[in-house]
A and B are shown apart, each in its own frame.
Chain A
Amino acid sequence: MKKYIQSFRLFFGNCQIRSIVLFAAVISGLTVLCGIIGCFPMNEFLTGLAEGVPTMLSSLSAVFGLIFMNALYQYLSPVTPGHKYYASLPDGAAHFRRAIAAGNLFGIVSGLVLLALINAAYKLIGIDNNFVFFGVMLLFIAAGVCNFTGFIRNNSARIIVMMGVFCGFGFLAGFFGFLADAEDAGTTRLDPLFSSAGITVTAGLVSVAVFAAGLIYALMVAEKKWGESL
């Protein structure tokens, strides 16, 4: 495990990790604040803020870990500052592979922690927390897709593919809700998607499977792709 953390630090140093921790602290702080505001409703504006901000933060938390992973994959490109440094290191390819594994773990764990916090805030406010489950699914799918697309050399192409997959994911969620004509029943459009335990478990398993496949693929080809980037 120490080796994996060391490889992760090799690529990100100390300060980058500190800025990400700061970012996570801001999300956490905002969520806690919204939870407190939700507990003591004073006016509609603040209640709206308390309900709306965590919804936005849940999606943000889901893609939080991608900041690391995307930055890591960019070092494969010779035009990225730092590429020559990493390319000249002893065991650079092995460090890269280990950093991918650690980056995935960090992304998933930090995303889950933030989503759990947001879930708690939702419960305090007393609104439905389907968005949290949606966020968890997005977290796993985003990480999996990032692992698959990480080796696309063209930066723009990589971002376009990732955005396409995320948009498709959002479209599917909305589409199922729309099919169920959810708003007429007075519920949010995501409710039908999570009303059945079977659908919820299946959706969860599919997203974890996408993540696992992406991670396995990335770990299998990392050293080869590192060599090809030189």
Chain B
Amino acid sequence: MENNYCVRTRGLTKKYSKFTLGALDMDIPEGFSTALIGANGAGKTTLIDILCGVTNRTDGEVTYFGDSRDISDPDLRERIGYCASSAFFPLGFTAKDIAVSMEIAYKSFDRAKFADLCEKFEVDSENTKKPRPMHKQSDGNRMRTCLASVFARSTELLVLDEPGSSLDPLMRDRLCDRMREYLDDGDGRKSIIFSTHNIADMENAADYAVFMDKGHVIEQGFIEELKEKYIVVSGDAENWEQAKSLLMSGSHNRTTFDGLALSENSEALATLNVETAAPTLQQLSVGLLKYAEEHR
């Protein structure tokens, strides 16, 4: 599959005193939604912050949309919509303050659309009689306001840090729909990068996945291709010892076992009287992260 890339990193590194991200080599395809998946502390937020220019990188290179490399360029920032996981806006800000501030900051910010989206997301808009400041709203409502503000701009790339974590299941489902609409509107030119722990709920919104562990990328690819590359295996506990060597990761109890394996091992596994199936993104994530944890 021939792709353009919305973001390409080479040797991207960020060093903190107790944590190092990278060096990361990543190719995030244009026109798709990419999920960053990893345990807490894997480096997802750091990566997102670097991509959005909120944190400076220590080393390496990031290329946006094939040619732009300088995130301090205001034109490039106009093309990127960013939403942090918590306390994105000042806590004293109301929807009206956000509208005022974003209208000044971004040429493409549509104030009427923001008010409309706030109403669709069922949070205070600037048309609300007495809009509440952020510190008087729940985490979920803050995130909804934040998402409304980012969808009210005309962008080519959305970078969302844990957009679903504080939302209820119904709202997460609506967010997935909204993300799909965003991609469809772009005619293959718009892309989304988001991090998530709610893998099952957000699976519908993801086309491409990047799995991270302790600051490194352990696997990346289109989800459909990854589902062909790996299989989930389940069987009786009596076959566990024989199957174990063919599995990447797995667990067992007194009666059954299950785990993740490479598809290339399916023939060998078939001789063990076990069942195999294509993994869900949730199974794939757990299997790969377990594998990474065991092989650090």
Contacts and interface: CB of A to CB of B under 8 A. Distances in A.
Given A82-B91, A88-B77, A90-B74, A14 B104 contact: no
Contact of B92 (A15, A87, A227): A15
B100 A16 contact: no
Interface residues of B, number: 31
B291 interface: no
B55 A230 contact: yes
A81 B91 CA distance: 6
A6 B97 contact: no
Interface stretch (B34-42, B82-90, B239-247): B82-90
B101 interface: yes
A15 B133 contact: yes
A7 B103 CA distance: 11
Interface residues of A, number: 22
A123 interface: no
Interface string A12-23: 111110000000
A106 B42 CA distance: 44
Nearest to B94: A15
Contacts of A14: 96-97, 100
A113 interface: no
A15 B104 CA distance: 16
Interface string A184-221: 00000000000000000000000000000000000000
A15 B101 contact: no
A15 B77 contact: no
Nearest to A230: B56
A5 to B, nearest CB: 10
B73 to A, nearest CB: 8
A6 B104 contact: yes
B98 interface: yes
Chain A binding surface, main DSSP class: helix
A87 B91 contact: no
B277 interface: no
A14 B106 CA distance: 17
Given A81-B89, A88-B54, A10 B101 contact: yes
Q: Which of A10, A14, A89 has the most CB of B within 10 A?
A: A89
A13 B105 contact: no
Interface in B3-59: 49, 52-56
B106 A90 contact: yes
A81 B88 CA distance: 6
Nearest to B56: A230
A15 B96 contact: yes
A95 B105 contact: yes
B78 interface: yes
A87 B90 contact: no
A9 B97 CA distance: 9
B53 A87 contact: yes
A230 B46 CA distance: 11
B93 interface: yes
A89 B84 CA distance: 13
Nearest to B149: A85
Contacts of B82: 84, 88
B94 A13 contact: yes
Contact of B77 (A9, A11, A89, A230): A89
Given A9-B101, A14-B96, A81 B90 contact: yes
Nearest to B45: A84
A230 B72 CA distance: 11
A91 interface: yes
24 contacts: A7-B104, A10-B101, A10-B105, A13-B92, A13-B96, A13-B100, A14-B96, A15-B92, A15-B133, A16-B97, A82-B89, A84-B49, A84-B54, A84-B84, A85-B84, A85-B88, A87-B54, A87-B55, A88-B54, A90-B105, A95-B105, A227-B56, A230-B53, A230-B55
Given A85-B90, A89-B105, A230-B56, 11 more contacts: A10-B105, A15-B97, A16-B97, A81-B90, A82-B91, A84-B82, A88-B52, A89-B77, A90-B75, A91-B74, A227-B72
